[in-house]
Amino acid sequence: MNECDLRYGEDLIKLKFDDRLTVLSTDLLNEAPLSDVDIGNALDAPIESPALDELISTDDSVLIVVSDATRATGSAQIVNLLVRRLIQSGVAPGNVAIIFATGIHRPVTPEEKAELLTHFIVQRVRTLEHDPYNQAGLVSLGTTERGTPIELNRALTEFSRIIVLGGINFHYFAGFTGGRKSICPGLASAETIESTHMLALDFQGGGRRAGVGAGVLDGNAVHEECERVAQIVHPAFGIYTVVDQLKRVVRVHCGDWRVAHRVACEAFLKEHSVAIHEKRDLVIASCGGFPYDINLIQAHKALEMASYACKDGGSIILLAECRDGVGRPDFLKWFESADSAALEKRLVDQYEVNGQTAWSLLIKAERFHLQLISKLDPADVHRMRMDAATTLEQALKRVGGDQDGFIMPRGANVLPILTS
């Protein structure tokens, strides 16, 4: 028998399996995390950009944009090094601030700030919040060629230099995380976020718009529009990380905020996609633990990846703790719809960002038998057309243990690509 560790929140669940199951993983388990020296060397050799000490002068004010608690980016290590470097270059500590790109997510808690930045940084550098619904904290900067309103956090216009820090991972309709997403949706108004995200849907033909999907940037309308919005504030520098299963930085690409992001995404796709010759009847997927399974909206990203490896009519077992619940209190209202077609019609009539996630989840519930191992109320799980399981053993017993299948220990980080 073989054995595999599946992360669930901060815990590990051990799975023993035979040769009927194949592990889909691209992790280099013995790869050493990057040291401070390694990261410093990357900062000194940026991609298509001058070095930081050439970009930023002593009289500049610098805003550092970081992700919230739903992302693992290694920000504590990176920001600590970055702030020290800025101060050593002559930037006054009072002219440096950090803002959390929360988009429409909940605010970052004090405990999360310390985790994301370290106590040392939190005590010494001003931190700012983003509220996508507070017009007083937003500024209007016109519209894009497509007509998207460009409404962004006012702080983006109050600092002379902006540095964006993000993690690279797959995103089920924006292609990848990081880059432009630090600005849009990260620091955009709710209206701007809706206007860009609704481009993922084909309102004429129905379903998802052509060109929109995981691992895709070229021709991806959502990515391209978010990039147009971010271009308005033109970040001075971008830093993009890849973390391992212990959330340690193992890759970093930095430089021109757009070019470095493209390079990082291309490298990530090469390292984190895996070829499969056929889909199988069973997929067992862990989101990769916290923060990837912090709530169901985030956990859906791993479910999306698992769906690429499962036969229609097959079974997917998803391990997602969901310590923050479903993610938003209004998420469950979408499942009042009779089916995915009815939900899609509601989106056409009155679009909301999380309604699109609900629609995507409901489509999967109609294609596959979904078993969810989580801390969610079983009644809510059933409302979302999934079966609630308390243990992996229970879920396996329900679907049958004699099927060929795949195991995805870090479901959100692996893109299965069917080659036949």
- The pLDDT profile of the chain, 420 residues, written as one tens digit per residue, is 889 999 999 999 999 999 899 999 887 556 899 999 999 999 999 999 999 999 999 999 999 999 999 999 999 999 999 999 999 999 999 999 999 999 999 999 999 999 999 999 999 999 999 999 999 999 999 999 999 999 999 999 999 999 999 999 999 999 999 999 999 999 999 999 999 999 999 988 889 999 999 999 999 999 999 999 999 999 999 999 999 989 999 999 999 999 999 999 999 999 999 999 999 999 999 999 999 999 999 999 999 999 999 999 999 999 999 999 999 989 999 999 999 999 999 998 899 999 999 999 999 999 999 999 999 999 999 999 999 999 999 999 999 867 899 999 999 999 999 997
For 361, the enclosing helix (H) or strand (E) is helix 353-367
Packing angle between helix 190-197 and helix 221-233, nearest 10 degrees?
140
Q: How far apart are CA 208 and CA 193, in angstroms?
A: 17
Bridge partners (DSSP) listed for residue 21: 405
| Residue 206 confidence (pLDDT) | 87
| Residue 31 confidence (pLDDT) | 82
- CA dihedral sign, ordered 332, 338, 339, 341: negative
For 369, the enclosing helix (H) or strand (E) is strand 369-373
Q: How far apart are CA 1 and CA 207, in angstroms?
A: 42
Count of C-beta atoms within a 10 Å radius of residue 120: 14
In DSSP notation, 58-98 reads: TT--EEEEEE-TT----HHHHHHHHHHHHHHTT--GGGEEE
| Residue 1 confidence (pLDDT) | 81
* 19-56 burial: b if 16+ Cβ within 10 Å, else e: eebbbbbebeeeeebbeeeebeebbeebbebeebeebb
> Do residues 244 and 250 make contact, with C-beta atoms less than 8 angstroms apart?
yes
Q: How far apart are CA 182 and CA 231, in angstroms?
A: 12
Topology given in CATH for the domain delimited by 36-270: Rossmann fold (3.40.50)
SS3 49: coil
| Residue 401 confidence (pLDDT) | 67
CATH 3.90.226.30 fits 2-27+277-418, yes or no: yes
The owner of tokens 């004090």 is 110
Upper half-sphere CA count for residue 279 (Cβ side, 13 Å): 17
In order of 225, 230, 333, 387, the CA distances from 145 in angstroms are: 9, 14, 33, 44
In DSSP notation, 87-148 reads: HHTT--GGGEEEEEE-TTSPPPPHHHHHHHH-HHHHHHSEEE---TT-GGGEEEEEE-TT--
| Residue 402 confidence (pLDDT) | 78
In order of 69, 81, 119, 228, the CA distances from 111 in angstroms are: 10, 21, 9, 34
Phi, psi for 402 (deg, rounded to 5): -110, 20
CATH 3.90.226.30 segments of the chain: 2-27+277-418
CATH 3.40.50.11440 segments of the chain: 36-270
The owner of tokens 């803002």 is 99
Q: How far apart are CA 147 and CA 222, in angstroms?
A: 13
- Sequence-separated (6 or more) residues with CB below 8 Å from residue 342: none
> At 264, which amino acid appears?
A
